[in-house]
Chains A and B, each alone.
Chain A
Amino acid sequence: MKLRSDRDLVALRESILRERDPNKTCVTICGGTGCRAWGGEEVRLAFIEEIRKQGLEGKVGVMRTGCHGFCERGPVVVILPEEIFYQQVAVGDVPEIVSKTLRERRVVERLLYTDPATGRVITYDHDVPFYKGQTRLVFSDNGRIDPTEIRDYIARGGYSGLSKALFSMTPEQVIDEVEKSGLRGRGGAGFPTGRKWRFTRSSPGEVKYIVCNADEGDPGAFMDRSVLEGNPHLVLEGMLIAAYAIGAHSGYVYVRAEYPLAVQHLKIALEQAEEMGLIGDQILGSDFSFHLKIKEGAGAFVCGEETALLASIEGKRGMPRARPPFPAVSGLWGKPTNINNVETYANIRSIILNGSSAYAAIGTQGSKGTKIFSLTGKINNTGLVEVPMGTTLREVIFNIGGGIPRGRHFKAAQMGGPSGGCLPAQYLDLPIDYESLTQVGSMMGSGGMIVMDEKTCMVDIARFFLSFTQEESCGKCVPCRIGTKRMLEILTRITKGEGREEDIDLLLEMGRIIKDSALCGLGQTCPNPVLSTINYFRNEYEAHIRDRYCPAGACEALVFAPCENTCPVRCDAAGYTALISERRYEEALSLIRLTMPLAAVCGRVCTHPCENMCKRGEIDQPIAIASLKRFASDWELSSGSMAPPVFLEKPKAERVAIVGAGPAGLNAAYHLGRRGYQVSIFEALPLPGGMLSVGIPEYRLPRRNLMNDIRFICQHHVEIKTGKALGKDFNIDDLFHQGYKAIFLAMGAHKNQRMSIPGEDGPGVLPGVDFLRRVNLGEKVEVGRRVAVIGGGNVAFDAARTALRLGAKEVSIVYRRTRDEMPANDEEIEEAEHEKIKLLYLIAPVEIVRENGRVRGLLCQRMELGDFDASGRRRPIPIKGSEFLMEVETVIPAIGYVPDLSCLPLDGGFKTTKAGTLQVDPITLATDLPGVFAGGDLVTGPSTVVEAMASGYRAAISIDKYLKGQDPRRDRAYQALRRVDVPKAEGEEEAATSKPRAKMPAMDVNRRVCTFEEVNLGFDEETAVREAKRCLRCDLER
């Protein structure tokens, strides 16, 4: 049927609508490439079959639609007209859907989408958060029409934009309208579309061309494919309107051959449009004629560059040429040519139909309309997201994208594909548009958004993108062909641990000049990933170069084993586990003590980030790495003998003073002592250990074990002087006068942070750290019958469990967020639950209510979780009118603690940070005072034992270099570990895979609440050996 006038088109639409019942049930199955890969096609066939079987034929339609965008949850099935949203539908689910939903109008609950953030089950697709946050203009009909059926498109108003342009607008008016809409090229550069059209129209010449750039090639970008697959007529209509405006009579769609479905749907659409007289001679009876050809590209990335694309259409090698002349003046075969991207053309119809002002109402000042992003990488909801320009990254990644999987943290998002740059967390609230992205060193590009978590190495990712662009370089110009190759070689050597100090500056110089001097857009942008990762993650580059260390644990050549790589002090867990499996406990402990002298301590209270990275955890549960360390240490203690000290260097005369005998100070002393220095530790408290002694209760870390570790350290030329407080008993100058050549400050953070609520001061309120210190130092502390502890960290849990042991009958922990956000160790939370401590979530204290000076209770307010805050956690928001009184006699605030800097001469050269900690050089830990270094909680604020130890180690390296007159910034690499000589146990692998993680035996719950004896009893020998054998020995794979 040929349409011969605009009236024909209207008549056709009306007749289609008349034939169709808008209330007829229709099962739409996503036919995008993603859902097809999930098995969507089989599901569709199953629906047809099942509907026939259950006798609903003719009553229910089945439609294969274009991409719905929510690729993560494919195959997606939406039942119209209600828009019931089923996800991850399998062939086996079809009979139930047909019988329940189609016949009985009941939903199949288990196939509905559950919002992981709220746990709410959602029935309709417009309520799914993934769609709710979107504004789907280009995608409005994707998922509602069958892309191979032009009548579906026409029924939804298709080609009415064309007919409006042809019969009621002059070409100039069309261009005016597009120009006023503010639409900018969606291919990446963002050139104003209307202006481009005007240039082409005003270029002299009879013959002009229209070209659609559908050579989408960025890794991780698939929005153009989705539009072509799901709604090809929308693109054709946009091209027709453009052709009319410009005065072109023929055109090309240049589409990648790797998009077979897009090519197929385009061809079908073209054929149907030609058949109806919508493409061809005298379209709709007007005197406008237009012919279109589809040209399949052979998959060269550079053919997305417009001049290369045009060369490719001409049958030449796809190589860019210098501009000017621009295609608008001299394009295809030397004729004026307008070239736009798929998404740009897909925006045209709505601009013509609804007017430029409606379009311009969406977006930001300089960037109008919506933009489709393809959300990929470490993100829960992989898929296509269409949002107004100016939407923040946080909105897209967390609210629509559902955040980062496995509870990991957002690290960066690579925007604009391999030519773009990465945006770190600090830009999560940046409104995304063309200008804002360019300003922060990234770009819009085609709209790829690759999300990365902390396991992504930024050097490696830069290397990956550059290797892509290098391979895809056309090879024409020198900076791109050779320059990027040389950059890639430098990046490769950095990721192999062979980087050189000057490499970062060299990369910056090369990147800058290549951007400035390359021939085309590819060369001018391909250094961006390198430049932006250096800009935002320079410390990672430095770690690779100076420490031969990949913080993300991604660079194979640098990672000995994931556990070792993750450990802040690089304790070789794989090695000692292997030795324990062979019952070589003495060697195991020696290996531990190479980097980790506090074996008994970390075997008990470490947060063991190593276990989170353990590969065994991906099969069942991680190896009990920390408990094995404890086992090795306990074994020594029970044997009654202590391993002799091992020195790396001869004894030296130089003396080093350390202030604070906590984990940072102790570890620094150990590593300095091993290098031959004479070390004195000055400790203000009457006993050494810092927080280990006075912060962590005995039931978690018995004093006997702690002191054994400290005794081991003291064998290495280390003396500890207790009861000596800096600022009271001595000062920094005194230490230098006494002949100490370097000083390490590690006084920790022992001062409570105030809650700043009424009633905080006075009896009955025991600040957490003070409370624990007093108890640990043997003071008798009274607590009431009912105790409320405020906070969610380890101190809160230690305080709560201690209060219980002091006789409290009812102990509650009050936390303003949920368990997911709690910073305390999982083990701690579980133990507290065992001990019947009440955990109250989403509650915040408002006031401590007193009566006659005594605490009567805690006035609380309930909270709910709102949007994500800067830390990537949902922000707690008070619920109005939800206040209630919790009756307690004692309140223990434990919301945080800060260093006490009053002992330091802050006017004498020390600087502090906004967080109230001491400021040091992040690499060397040097303060502004020569010879004085600082680390641990004093610098980081409250952190973990193992982090404090790591900081002590780094200080020791710096002090050693300082005293030897070496550059403290160079060659800071950890000593290379040697693989232990334990082969992988043959044949045991299979047996091991079925063994679950050994459980830590613990004291009976009823007994433990009345004693400070250690709760966890430790592994016996057989359990330890068996557990050690579960190790998969990743260290042998490298």
Chain B
Amino acid sequence: MKEVILKIDGREVRAEEGMTIFQAAKKVGIEIPHLCYREGLAPTAACRLCVVEVDGSRTLVASCAYPVANKMVVRTDTQRVQEARKLAIDFLLSDHPYDCMTCEKSGSCRLEKYAYEFGIRKSRFEGERHDYPIRGRNPFFERDYNKCILCGRCVTVCHEVQYCEAVDYSERGFATKIAAFFDRSMQETPCVFCGNCVSVCPVGALSEKAGRFKGREWELQKVPTICSYCGVGCTLVLNVKDGKVLKVTSDKELGINRGWTCVKGRFGFDYIHSPDRLTEPLIKRDGTFRQASWEEALDAVAEGLKNIKSKYGADAIGFLVSAKCTNEENYLLQKVARAAIGTNNVDHCARL
């Protein structure tokens, strides 16, 4: 990559050709406000919060999408830039509900953050506000498009990360909104409920149903862990309060999955606190389970296997392993099958 040298806020910055102004600024520690841009997603340049002045350009440019060039002179913090940013936030607030008190996003909402930083108590503008019904027939997440700022992140994720194309922009002008085709419910679309759209939503428009009204953002303990569903090993972040997992989120800085998950990892955690969950070994005698110690239980299993092997031969026994287990665990189990029992009856089932 060729190196280019540009000036940002009077500082000389070395950047690689192909980088955006936003990235180059970040490299030297200049954080440019932004709502729609998210690292790892193609920029839509829609929110106009990241606009900056570039010498020679007639208008302000969106730094998230504008490529750097040699000898470029950029200003990220002039009055002209600040006025434009402030007005953009003002516009967004003029069509946004003032219900941060009960919004699940409060505390991590980016619109809230900038409204605070720009000191906008109330939008200067009156006029029409949207009044969409809240959509949420699916069990996992809710869509409240009254809060949507049309950053387009969910659309980009759905099209370019998950390849589902379940949602897109619809309508025009002020009526523009995000919708599934013909405004259907998510169940009627190719949506796989990965929830990655929820994870990128910068405001409270898309929110998990789990944990609702149970804990504010700042009360939640964030516990990174590895997903127990399969062998991929995605990093999840458990949101815990009072020893209870309220919801599962993800973090683009953590793990091999870079913040993306599948439906199971993000939404399939209700088993954790399920009363049906096995917490200790049980042995069934005469049709009923009774509690047992691990020693007793393992003995019972070993006994049983031995009996079968002596009575019917080793091939009467089969082992099923699981994709949820690690490679090492799977290796050990097939070792048990072959070396200890003496059978090649080893198979795999991902649902286990």
> Contact residues of A with B, CB < 8 Å?
300, 302, 317, 319, 321-322, 324-325, 470-479, 481-483, 485-486, 489, 506, 509-510, 513, 515-519, 524
Contact = CB atoms under 8 A, between A and B. Distances in A.
Given A317-B168, A513-B87, A517-B60, A474 B45 contact: no
Given A322-B62, A322-B65, A517-B51, A478 B80 contact: no
Across the A-B interface, the 4 shortest Cβ-Cβ residue pairs:
A475-B176, A322-B65, A482-B91, A322-B45
A477 B48 contact: yes
Contacts of B128: 485, 489
Contacts of B124: 506
B169 A485 contact: no
B84 A517 contact: yes
Given A473-B174, A475-B150, A475-B172, 13 more contacts: A319-B169, A471-B172, A473-B173, A475-B169, A476-B44, A477-B45, A477-B47, A478-B48, A479-B84, A482-B174, A483-B91, A486-B125, A517-B60
17 contacts: A317-B168, A322-B65, A324-B67, A471-B172, A473-B172, A473-B174, A473-B176, A477-B46, A478-B48, A482-B94, A482-B95, A513-B87, A516-B80, A516-B84, A517-B48, A517-B87, A519-B46
A324 B83 CA distance: 24
Contact of A513 (B83, B173, B175): B83
B118 interface: no
Contact of A481 (B59, B127, B173): B173
Nearest to B155: A317
A472 B176 CA distance: 10
Of the listed residues A302, A473, A479, A519, the one surrounded by the most CB atoms of chain B closer than 10 A to its CB is A519
A518 B169 CA distance: 18
B66 interface: yes
B92 A321 contact: no
Interface string B119-131: 0000011111000
Interface in B60-90: 60-62, 65-67, 80, 83-84, 87-88
Contact of A475 (B84, B87, B171): B171
A117 B25 CA distance: 66
A300 B173 CA distance: 11
A33 B343 CA distance: 85
A519 B173 contact: no
B174 A517 contact: no
A300 B168 CA distance: 17
A482 B126 CA distance: 11
B43 interface: yes
B62 A470 contact: no
A481 B51 contact: no
B47 to A, nearest CB: 6
A446 B95 CA distance: 34
B152 interface: yes
B169 A317 contact: yes
B45 A470 contact: no
A466 to B, nearest CB: 11
B59 A524 contact: yes
Contact of A485 (B61, B67, B171, B174): B174
Q: Which of A322, A324, A489 has the most chain B CB atoms closer than 10 A to its own CB?
A: A322
Contacts of A471: 172-173
A517 B43 contact: no
Contact of B45 (A321, A473, A481): A321
Given A317-B169, A482-B91, A485-B128, A519 B48 contact: yes
Interface string B10-34: 0000000000000000000000000
Nearest to B43: A322
Interface string B33-62: 000000000011111100100000001111
B162 to A, nearest CB: 17
A373 B174 CA distance: 31
Nearest to B61: A322
A498 to B, nearest CB: 11
A486 B94 CA distance: 9
B176 A517 contact: no
Given A475-B171, A486-B91, A515-B59, A481 B176 contact: yes
Interface-centre pick from B47, B95, B169, B172 (highest chain A CB count, 10 A): B172
A757 to B, nearest CB: 55
Contacts of B152: 476
B204 to A, nearest CB: 18
B47 A478 contact: yes
B92 A474 contact: no
A800 B65 CA distance: 77
B113 to A, nearest CB: 16
Contact of A519 (B45, B84, B95, B169): B45
A479 B87 contact: yes
A519 B169 CA distance: 16
Contact of B173 (A475, A477, A479): A475
A489 B127 contact: yes
B172 A482 contact: no
B71 to A, nearest CB: 16
A521 to B, nearest CB: 10
Nearest to B87: A513
Contacts of A324: 66-67
A510 B86 CA distance: 11
Contact of B169 (A321, A476, A478, A516): A476
A300 B67 contact: no
Nearest to A512: B83
Given A300-B172, A475-B169, A517-B59, A486 B127 contact: yes
Contacts of B126: 489
B221 to A, nearest CB: 35
A474 B168 CA distance: 13
Contacts of A506: 124
Contacts of A317: 168-169
A510 B83 CA distance: 10
A931 B127 CA distance: 41
A302 B150 CA distance: 18
Contacts of B47: 477-478
B231 to A, nearest CB: 36
B316 to A, nearest CB: 59
Given A476-B150, A478-B46, A478-B88, A470 B174 contact: yes
Nearest to B86: A513
Given A473-B173, A478-B46, A483 B87 contact: yes
B17 to A, nearest CB: 13
Nearest to A319: B169
Contacts of A479: 48, 84, 87-88, 91
A475 B174 contact: yes
Interface string B155-178: 000000000000011011111100
Contacts of B127: 485-486, 489
Nearest to B92: A478
A100 to B, nearest CB: 55
A513 B173 CA distance: 18
Nearest to A321: B45
A941 to B, nearest CB: 43
Contacts of A515: 59
A979 to B, nearest CB: 30
B73 to A, nearest CB: 17
A513 B169 CA distance: 25
B87 A481 contact: no
Contacts of A510: 87
A325 B18 CA distance: 11
A192 to B, nearest CB: 16
A483 B65 CA distance: 22
A476 B169 CA distance: 9
A517 B66 CA distance: 14
Contacts of A482: 91-92, 94-95, 174
